[in-house]
Chains A and B, each alone.
Chain A
Amino acid sequence: MDTHFAQRRRRDLIVAGCLAVVAALVPLFVKDVYVQNIMVLTLMYAALSQSWNILSGYCGQISLGHALYFGLGAYTTALLFTKFGVLPWFGMLAGGAISAVIAMALGYPCFRLRGHYFVIATIVIAEIALVLIQNWDWAGAALGIDIPVRGDSWLKFQFTRSKLPYFYFALALACIAWFVTWWLEDSKWGYWWRAVKDNPDAAESLGVVVFNSKMGAAAVSAFLVAVGGSFYAQFVSYIDPESVMGFQFSLLMALPAVLGGIGTLWGPVLGAVILIPLTELTRSFIGGSGRGVDLIVYGALIVVISLALPRGLVSVFSWRKEAAR
């Protein structure tokens, strides 16, 4: 591509590297556990949203059922560990692989659907999976799974004394998701996806295999989201169907990208950095439990941003204009 584009990509990589280093240093100065907790969640949602963005943003197949893959990751890891003693690291890879396969199996019939039919199919499929897990006794049914604590170790990926290891893993995950997106953006896949998003019929006539492009995006997206789910299971050490596969996760994954800029490299990161601390803070300071102020702030933000800045917050930065286009 043109040198301008190459320059932009190099600059993106340098900026990302610097940001990662700065982020890695933050916990040295911020010791407050509450704040560290918010940072872990922010990084996790940045990673999740970045992964969601691959299928829904770049490829244009808006999924509101990604909680399915998040839950699959969490459940695979937790079940393998509690039932068979398999280390979470393997569980993580297994969860990712299972999710990628399931995403493709589901994509096979679903990618023929267009527009709202597709969106509703994704919601419905995640909802079916949720109900099935809630009724699956071996997997703990509605009560979920308590992951037994066997002491602090990287091997078992459990840490009780400090949140720092989780922080660094979440940071690594966010970096990987970002890097995969960065790398794919300029690969043949990236071009196919944008072509499929803009005009599937024209793409098809130009020789892009639309169906395979969507399948590829779904597999990558599901794999990364499942790894996020595995991480979350270890982080909270207790999972139940509603808390890892509920519809709100599908929404929470989509919102940072929507806010920051759907189908952009930096949108999910920017969105997560603003949205997650904001919701956590409103929840604890204004919200209280069950009063719903956090929902009001949250929802209003979504309405205003999606109406005023359909390209997301990244479009505000003028030097990003060409990236958002």
Chain B
Amino acid sequence: MTAETIIQSLASGLLMGLLYGLIAAGLALIFGLMDVVNFAHGEFLMIAMYATFFLFAFFAIDPLLAAPLVAAALFVFGALVYLLVVRFAMRAKANAGMVQIFSTFGLAIVMRGLAQFFFTPDYRSVTNSWLGGKTVSIAGIYLPEPQLIGAMLSIAAFVALYFFINRTDFGRALEATREDAGAVALVGIDKNRVFALGWGLGAALVGLAGAIMAIFFYIYPDVGASFALIAYVTVALGGFGSVFGAFAGGIIVGLVEATTALILPPSLKSVGIYAVYLLVVFIRPRGLFGSM
């Protein structure tokens, strides 16, 4: 193993990590806002990838151009999921935690079933997109272009998110609702509207990630499942609910994954990430950046 291979895989790990951060951002946002873990998050990613695929297959819209469209569509979808499912789960008077987990889990299963029904379980891929299969060489390190652009988009999305949360009225309403949902009602903020928009925004972020993922990853009904687990780990590492913790968590996950792949056989790749999750929560039960 040469220094070059190590740098090479750490660099791709970093890019993948930034994408993991983007995938997890929406999950962290929603959790931070209302203490709900969306167990259908992976399926949000899955439909975003399918949407990108079909826009490409039927209308020849390149995934890069499709990304904003997919994000917008996912925004609507996320808001609808809140209004039609999660809103009612929040009202549960008994077994509240269980209801939240299983209502979104059920939704995930339905979405997977629908994807199998309409799209068949076949593996699909976007071929001949602008970025697909291309690499750039920077100082002797080869970086795949889709991941590179994806990583840059991820950074841009997090910067935008930072300004959005800190500088806009909606962002302030989001923060205020997160602090005290009861009190915001007194100043005339409609809690449901904020939650719906939060879900929309969270879904839009994963929509953006899905459009990029579709360039270089196979698309099939179960594709969300493995990424979902990575997203939960990412979010937990960052401290549940901290959007910027998810950014840091994503980078850690990406680097750990790349390191594991260097040391262990490829079939054990995911073990490293899971082990790091356990290690972190056993030492710090509220994640790396979570408040204790």
Contacts and interface: CB of A to CB of B under 8 A. Distances in A.
Contacts of A109: 278, 282
Given A127-B270, A135-B268, A310-B92, A299 B285 contact: no
B267 A135 contact: yes
Contact of A251 (B88, B105, B113): B105
Given A296-B114, A298-B109, A300-B106, A306 B98 contact: yes
A27 B257 CA distance: 52
Given A120-B277, A124-B278, A115 B106 contact: no
A258 B107 CA distance: 15
A119 interface: yes
Interface string B250-272: 00000000000000010110110
B101 A119 contact: yes
Interface string A188-232: 000000000000000000000000000000000000000000000
B98 A302 contact: no
B281 interface: yes
B103 interface: yes
Contact of B102 (A131, A296, A300, A302): A302
Contacts of A114: 285
Contact of A292 (B97, B99, B113): B113
A258 B105 CA distance: 12
Nearest to A115: B97
Interface of A: 62, 109, 112-117, 119-121, 123-125, 127-128, 131-132, 134-135, 247, 251, 254-255, 258, 262-263, 290-304, 306-307, 310-311
Interface of B: 31, 37, 85, 88-89, 92-99, 101-103, 105-117, 120-121, 221, 225, 229, 232-233, 236, 240, 265, 267-268, 270-271, 274-275, 277-278, 281-282, 285-287
Given A131-B270, A310-B93, 16 more contacts: A117-B281, A117-B287, A121-B281, A124-B233, A132-B271, A290-B121, A296-B109, A296-B117, A299-B111, A300-B110, A302-B103, A302-B105, A303-B106, A304-B106, A306-B102, A306-B103
